[in-house]
Every structure is written in C-alpha cells, then in structure tokens.
Structure 1
Amino acid sequence: MASGEHEYHVSVEWIGNQGSGTSGYREYGRNHEIRVEGKPTIPGSADPAFRGDAARWNPEDLLVASASACHKLWYLHLCAEAGVVVEQYRDDAVGTMIDTAGEGRFTRIVLRPQVTIRSGGNADLVTLAQALHHAAHEKCYIANSVNFPIECEPVVDVVEA
C-alpha cells in the first residue's frame, strides 16, 4: 500500500446561472457538475430542502456515500488478507444532519453493511468477518477525518462453498 501524502484534484463548476446570477436567493439554480479528469461527470445540486434538484447528487449524499464506500473498500481488503471470501456486500447507510437557522452539521452516519461470505469450514469465520468491520472502521480514511461518529451495524450471512 502506498504511504505518504496524496492529493485529489476535483473541479466543481456551477451551472445554475439562470440569467441574473445570484441577484436573489430564488433567482439562481443550485446545479453543478463535479469532474475529475478521466472519470464520468457527476451531476450535483443542493438537497431539495435547500432548493436543489432531487435528481442530482447533493453534498450530503456524497458524504454518506464516501463513508460507506471507504469502509467497504477497507473491509474487502482486510477480508482478502484474512482469508474471508466475500460473495456479496451491500450497505444501506444513513446520515443524519441537523440544520439550525442555516447552520447545519452531520451528527452521525450509520453504516448497515449486509455481507455474504463463503463458508470455509471454520466455525469462527462469522466472528472473524464481524471483527473485520471494526478493523475496517479503524482504518477508514473518511471515518478518521470527520468530527462526528460513524457507527457500523453489520450483518454477516454465510453461503456454502
């Protein structure tokens, strides 16, 4: 694994000027495009509660998705190293944000990964698969970067090899 400093170059371009710029709160669109060279463009906006387009990704969606994806990537890595064969992984994560007079913040994210592993004749395989979620959480770059709790409520199922 590469160590050291890593930079991520992202371009966010506002495309919501409806002819009069930000001349009034209701006079501009919240739409933007998120770009990284060589990758598909992500259509972004604000949450609909903040006059955004519900069909586009908003920053809050992306934060919850980042936490979930980071956990998943570490979990799969640790499972591969530990000999736990993951057949399926799905997370229905939920982020909670409070907004008080226009000053919002996330209070928590709850990850709810549902993992199916291949049986391996080891009675402690499910226990190990569960424990690896804790280890993945400890290593997750996103979880280590935010100032609110990210909780994990995993479910592990086993399929016969």
Structure 2
Amino acid sequence: MTRLHTYDTVVTWTGDRGTGTSGYRAYSRDHDLHAQGRTPIAGSSDPAFRGDDTRWNPEQLLVGSLSQCHMLWYLHLCAENGVTVTAYTDHATGTMAETGDGGQFTEVTLHPHVTVTSPDMTETATRLHAEAHRACFIARSVNFPVRHAPTLTLAHTHQQA
C-alpha cells in the first residue's frame, strides 16, 4: 500500500524596490519561505546571481535537506541496531555546474562526524551510513550522486575509530 504525503510551502517575494522587475538589476532576489506553524526562512539567490549572502539560497537548502534526511535515517537505524550515538555533525558540500542555459548539481558529499559510546559499535555505525543513504527520501529523489565520507569518534576518549 502506498501512502502519499503532501508538503505545502509558500514563497513570498519581498524584493520589489519600487519598480518591480523593470530590469535585471532593478529588483532584489529576497523572499521568505513559509510553512504553517513554522518560523519563516529568509531566502535569496546565491550571491553569484545577485542574491543576499546573509539569506539562505535554494542550493544551500537542497544540500541541507540531503544532510538532514541522511542524519535522521542514520540515527533511526543506529537506535534499531544497538549503536548509541552521542553526537552528530555533518559539514556537507554540494557542487553545482553552471552552464550557458542554467546549471545543475553534479554531486553532494556528506561529511558526518559521529560519536559512538563503544569501540564494538564502530563497524555497524560505519555500515549504517549506506543503509541510511538507501532509505533517505531526498537522496532517492535527486539525479546526482550523494556521497558519504563519515568519521567516527569514541565518546569520552575522543579518539577516532
């Protein structure tokens, strides 16, 4: 049985400087991303495309979505497989190739740094990254590779496993 999930958002452009889109440089790319019951996200385009570098851009949000989805599945799988994670940080990077007619992502690499409580958990903790990738809804929906370069640390000793 297939269950369908719907996700509703509202994007509101806030970049009219008084003359609308009368020219390419006449307007700001600023906008707000809303969803019911949530704090708005201040968005813009990438600074390379005349955006505000203090606001989130769609490319960052895509990389962040991949990182979040992987983490949530990974933590779930660790809990199910007896791996106790006490810290998780991911410094994800995405690469987009700009072409004359637009551009597209060529890859995203996740760099999760995971802390586990016991050395006997490290093999399973490492293996579960591949399972989390296969389960991640967002990674399964993109048309470019999502790679993983995890590191593990043992809690309290802060030694890399």
User: After the TM superposition, which of the residue ranges 98-107 and 85-94 deviates more from structure 2?
Assistant: 98-107
Deviation at 1:156, TM superposition (A): 1.1
Deviation at 1:72, TM superposition (A): 0.1
Consecutive unaligned residues of structure 1, counting only runs of 5 or more, are none
In the alignment, which residue of structure 1 is the partner of 2:88? Answer: 89
1:66 & 1:107 partners in 2: Cα distance? 16
In the alignment, which residue of structure 2 is the partner of 1:52? Answer: 51
1:92 & 1:68 partners in 2: Cα distance? 8
In the alignment, which residue of structure 1 is the partner of 2:103? Answer: 104
| 1:141 aligns to 2:137 (yes or no) | yes
Give the letter for the 2:134 counterpart: E
2:124 & 2:48 partners in 1: Cα distance? 42
Deviation at 1:30, TM superposition (A): 0.1
TM-score, normalised via structure 1 length: 0.94
Deviation at 1:104, TM superposition (A): 0.7
In the alignment, which residue of structure 2 is the partner of 1:127? Answer: 123
Give the letter for the 2:90 counterpart: D
Consecutive unaligned residues of structure 2, counting only runs of 5 or more, are none
- Which digits, 9 at most, give the CA deviation of each residue in 1:85-121, with x for residues without a partner? 10000000000001112411000000000000111xx
3-state secondary structure, aligned to 1:144: helix
List, as ranges, runs of 4+ consecutive aligned residues in structure 1 with deviation greater than 2 Å: none
In the alignment, which residue of structure 2 is the partner of 1:156? Answer: 152
Equivalent residues, number: 156
**Within-5 A mapping of 1:26-45:** 26-45=25-44
3-state secondary structure, aligned to 2:141: coil
Deviation at 1:160, TM superposition (A): 5.1
**Sequence identity (%):** 51
2:76 & 2:36 partners in 1: Cα distance? 26
In the alignment, which residue of structure 1 is the partner of 2:78? Answer: 79
TM-score, normalised via structure 2 length: 0.94
1:160 & 1:37 partners in 2: Cα distance? 41
1:137 & 1:158 partners in 2: Cα distance? 23
User: After the TM superposition, which of the residue ranges 141-150 and 101-110 deviates more from structure 2?
Assistant: 101-110
2:114 & 2:135 partners in 1: Cα distance? 19
Give the letter for the 1:9 counterpart: D
